[in-house]
Amino acid sequence: MSGPAVSTRPARSYTAAADSLSERDPVLRQLVVRAGPVRVNPPTKTRFAALVRAILYQRLAGAAARAIHGRLIASLGGEVTRNVSCRVLRKRCGP
């Protein structure tokens, strides 16, 4: 059974991945056409920020998670790092 060569290299973007899958599978091609371009939230700046966001979104529904996440980011001055988070908590909650 021969077919097109399949690359084992990872796609560089979601668009590249969708294009690659669409070339290989007619069913996926139709799904990609129907769904439109991939929409992904921008990545966080640090792993710690990604962890904070993941925990919030696991525990809360989308709208509530977005609201609380936004307030948390604002309370940290827009910088979600372990050091900033600890400093803010110590200032508000004591040592």
pLDDT tens for each residue of the chain, 95 residues long: 455 555 666 667 778 888 888 899 999 899 989 988 777 766 667 788 888 888 888 888 888 888 888 888 888 888 778 777 777 767 766 66
| Distance of alpha carbon 85 from alpha carbon 72, whole angstroms | 10
CB 2 within 8 A of CB 25: no
Report the SS3 class of residue 9: coil
How high is the pLDDT of residue 27?
94
Alpha-carbon gap, residue 95 to 63, rounded angstroms:
33
